[in-house]
Amino acid sequence: MLPALRLVEKSQATGKRLSDVILEFDLFLASDASAGTRKLYRYTLNKLLDFLGDVALESITIANLRRWLVVIKNSGLSVYTVHRDVRQVKRFFRWLVEEGYLEESPAQRLNLPRLPRGEPPKAISESDLEKMLHCAKSGSVRDYAILRFLAETGCRVGGLVSLRLADLDLNQQRALVREKGQKTRYVYFGVATVQAIEAWLNERPDGGVDRVFMGKRGPLTPSGVYRILERLACKAGVKRFNPHSFRHALARRLLQNGADLGTVSEILGHSNYETTHKFYARWSDEELSERHSRYGGVLG
């Protein structure tokens, strides 16, 4: 009884309700997270607010959160969306503990939904990638450079559109990208991509802007990149083409070629290996059978 009493006294002293701390959490994210990440958190937490009401923090229990989870599971959302929502809610309540608004998180025992096994990851296939590269190479030098950069670096689209001329180090075959807010990391590419970027830089309009990839009206935006990929995919007869599918494809290619999870995690810029394992190190039954044989599971 005593821990619960201390929790009530602390929350009553702060006078915080759910809507108050959601706003404060958004301000916290503003210092480090991208606009897209903040938007996703706002969407998820506002759904939680709609379900729970603008309640006092001490009144939120694991039972409340489990009822919310049942509702979103039965709302027609994909298991991946539900998984993301639960991860965000758990992170939000951990932050409340870190900030001293709660002594313990009611979401600590909220279980993440299991992701399905055997379902192909959301990666563009190698054959479809080759088709798109072929179409891009015979068309725009800019689009070809963009496609190669995404495919070889695993860069998020935000990192690509924010890439500056000074961030390129073509001699070292790398670039410094800014993703998820202003987090920076190096990404790497091969000689053919260096040549593709150089060809684009020879044609790139100046316009007094330091961004590498430009459109007719200035630096490309994420939606502009999406339209470029959509156009190429249509021409190539490819259905899966969103920018993140190239990131998935790089991870799978690295893992299939024997890279360890730690290396792949570093290349993708993940903060921990768990993310890499959950979303990228996933194999179909046929792939697991092949890998079992390749790595010595079958006795002679």
Is 247 part of the annotated catalytic residue set? yes
CATH number of 2-98: 1.10.150.130
pLDDT digits (tens, 9 = 90+) for 233-262: 999 998 888 888 898 888 888 888 888 777
40-44, 153-157, 271-275, range with the lowest pLDDT = 271-275
Buried b (16+ CB within 10 A) or exposed e, 161-198: bbbeeebbeeeeebbebbbbbeeebebebeeebbebbe
Alpha helices for the chain (secondary structure H) = 2-14, 18-30, 35-52, 62-73, 79-98, 126-137, 141-153, 157-161, 191-203, 222-236, 243-256, 261-268, 273-279, 285-294
Task: Look at residue 240 in the predicted model and tell me its pLDDT.
Answer: 80
| Contact (Cβ atoms closer than 8 angstroms) between residue 62 and residue 86 | no
* Residue among 178, 247, 252, 282 flagged as catalytic: 247
pLDDT digits (tens, 9 = 90+) for 25-52: 999 888 777 777 888 899 999 999 999 9
The pTM for the full model equals 0.64
Strands 218-219 and 214-215: antiparallel
Is 180 part of the annotated catalytic residue set? yes
Q: 211: helix, coil or strand?
A: strand
Q: What percent of the chain has pLDDT over 90?
A: 47
Task: Look at residue 257 in the predicted model and tell me its pLDDT.
Answer: 82
CATH topology of domain 126-285: hpI Integrase; Chain A (1.10.443)
* Residue among 84, 180, 240, 277 flagged as catalytic: 180
The neighbour count for residue 153, using CB atoms within 10 Å, is: 26
Domain boundaries defined on the chain: 2-98, 126-285
Is 294 part of the annotated catalytic residue set? no
Q: How confident is the model at residue 117 (pLDDT cuts 50, 70, 90)?
A: low
User: Which pair of tokens denotes residue 118?
Assistant: 């055997």
Please report, in angstroms and rounded to a whole number, the separation of the first and last CA atoms in the chain: 62
- Helix or strand (DSSP H, E) at 177: strand 174-179
Is 16 part of the annotated catalytic residue set? no
Note whether 2-98 and 126-285 share their fold. no
Task: Please state, in angstroms and as integers, the Cα–Cα distance from residue 174 to each residue in 153, 163, 183, 222, following that order.
Answer: 9, 12, 16, 21
Task: Please state, in angstroms and as integers, the Cα–Cα distance from residue 122 to each residue in 37, 192, 247, following that order.
Answer: 19, 25, 9
* Residue among 148, 252, 270, 282 flagged as catalytic: 270
pLDDT digits (tens, 9 = 90+) for 162-194: 999 999 999 999 999 988 767 888 999 999 999
Residues 147-162: what's their mean pLDDT? 92
Phi and psi torsions of 183, nearest 5°: -70, 130
Buried b (16+ CB within 10 A) or exposed e, 208-247: eeebbbbbeeebbeeebbeebbebbbeebebebbbbebbb
Is 43 part of the annotated catalytic residue set? no
Task: Please state, in angstroms and as integers, the Cα–Cα distance from residue 240 to each residue in 174, 179, 221, 253, 276, following that order.
Answer: 27, 23, 20, 17, 21
Is 270 part of the annotated catalytic residue set? yes
Phi and psi torsions of 220, nearest 5°: -65, 150
